[in-house]
Amino acid sequence: MAVLTVGSIALDNIKTQTEEHTGLLGGSASYASVSASFFDRVNLVGIVGSDFPKQHIQLFQERQIDLSGLQIVEGKTFHWAGQYEADMNKRHTLHTELNVFETFTPSLPPSYRGTPIILLGNISPALQIHVLNQIERADFVIADTMDLWITTTRPDLLELLKRIDLLVLNDSEARQLTEDENLVRAGRKILDLGPKYVSIKKGEHGCLLLSRTEFFSCGAYPVEQLKDPTGAGDTFAGGLAGYLASLQKSQITFADLKRATVHGSILASFCVESFSLERLKILSRNELNQRYAFFRAMSHFDE
């Protein structure tokens, strides 16, 4: 099986209270694809400019990520710059340059259109729907979203929710979408809008996974060296999707999603230990398995 990831690919400038780095590999598709590649094959759809560094392409290739859907066009790659406060839950965007991403229209190669697991990264709902319209068959569709789309493109988002299996969003976005401060009630309201499942991320406090009849609260792995939380949510979603693909199942159960949630959380815990994807570059499958086993033992997580 395989995972289809669609989203942004960016060059980031990131500043924390102790460090500053420029020209880092970023974007939702980058984090999600590398994360998913620890479990199964990945088909990547995105766009970059002619200035995109070759070493980033090489990273995708080393992770055996299929780049048939990567558009490389004349111009500059999407660029984002942000700064974190001492409390790294608080981030400020310094500037955003969409560049070639502004005209991005995802086009799926024929070989991608039957990919079993679909992960629609944080792009506009209209583009996410455009991708789904090209899909010939999919066993499980995951979509991410953000506050901007909830505010500016709500009708498109509501249409999208009727066509997906799992919505991934953070706690503030869940409250914004449903106008309900209680996350459990907010999750139930989101399920009423169409998806079979909802995953509500709570940062360092883990996440909630809900269906119409089941509930799972997943804690976050305790990270001692938090350096850069950028991309943690995309890493989580990618790890979740990749694990589901590795199951080789056409019917995904809630128990499958519970395990996938833990695997995604573990990958995100590695991601934040360094800037960009630097920690994931050197992460071994053995390290991943060890942290998963430790987390499972400490949380009494039952497979």
With b for 16 or more beta-carbon neighbours within 10 A and e for fewer, the 262-296 pattern comes to bbbbbbbbbbbbbbbbbbbeebeeeebeebbeebe
89, 139, 272 from 279: Cα distances, Å: 20, 31, 8
What CATH number is associated with residue 279?
A: 3.40.1190.20
| List of the chain residues with pLDDT < 70 | 300-303
pTM value > 0.85? yes
Which residue, chain included where needed, has tokens 């401060």? 181
Q: For residue range 238-252, what is the model confidence (pLDDT) as tens digits?
A: 999 999 999 999 899
Q: Rounded distance, CA 255 to CA 164, Å?
A: 18
Residue 49: domain span: 2-299
Arithmetic mean of pLDDT over the chain:
94
Based on the structure, what is the number of domains in the chain? Answer: 1
